[in-house]
Copies of this chain bind each other. A is one copy, B any other.
Amino acid sequence: MKISVIVGHPYTGSLNAGIAQEVTDKLKENGHDVMYHDLYQEGFNSVIPAAELVSDHSDDKLVLLHQQEIREADGIIIIHPNWWGQPPAILKGWVDRVLRENVAYTFPPGDNGGGLPIGLLKAKTALVINTSNTPKEREEQVFGDPLERIWKDCIFDFCGIKIFDRLMLRVVADSTPGERIAWLNQVTELVNSYFPEE
C-alpha cells in the first residue's frame, strides 16, 4: 500500500524524529511504499494565502505534490507533539492548505458550504502518534484532550476516513531511556497492526 507519513516537529534529534524513523522502517519492512514528509525539513509554508483560499488553487509546487500524494494514499500516519492541545502551526498549515475542497472533501451540488460534506480521500485508515508532557488524567479532565476530536472527527471523518487510531506517548519530559524504547515498541505494534506485511 501507499502510505503518507507526515511529521511536524522542529528537532531532527527529537523523539518525534525517532518515531518517524521507526514508522518508515517498519512500513518498508512490511512491503509498503512510503511517501515521507518532514514539514520542517522541507520548509513547508504553513500560511494559506488569500488568493489560494478563495480560488481553491495553489501555485506552491510543494502544496500541489502534497495534494497529489494525499489523494493517492491508501493510509496516512501523522506524527507531532501536543502543543496547546493542537498540532504545531506548520502541521495545522498542512491541513489548511493540503486538505482543500475537491481534494479531500466536497459538498453536494447546490450546497454553498454550509451543509454535509462528502469525504474524497481514498485512504481507509489514519493513525496519529503524539508526544506530550501532560499526564493522561490531567489531559482528559483539565484539557478535554482536544487532539482526539480534532484528528478523528473534525479532520479524518470529514474527509471520509473511518478507521482511526491514536497513540499518545507521555510524559516525555520525565521519560527514561527504557520508557522511550517501550514507546518505540508501541509504535511498531501500531504500524504492524494496521499496515501488516503485504
Contacts and interface: CB of A to CB of B under 8 A. Distances in A.
A192 interface: no
Given A114-B135, A144-B149, A154 B46 contact: no
**Chain A interface extent, by class:** 35 or more
Given A48-B89, A84-B155, A113-B133, A146 B150 contact: yes
Given A146-B154, A171-B114, A89 B90 contact: yes
Contacts of A135: 114
B88 A10 contact: no
- Counting every copy of the chain, the complex holds 2
Interface in A30-55: 40, 46-50, 53-54
Contact of A11 (B50, B83, B84, B171): B50
Given A11-B50, A84-B99, A85-B153, 20 more contacts: A10-B48, A11-B54, A40-B47, A40-B50, A46-B89, A46-B93, A47-B88, A83-B95, A84-B95, A84-B96, A84-B154, A86-B92, A86-B95, A86-B154, A89-B90, A89-B93, A89-B95, A90-B93, A112-B173, A146-B150
Given A84-B95, A85-B149, A50 B10 contact: yes
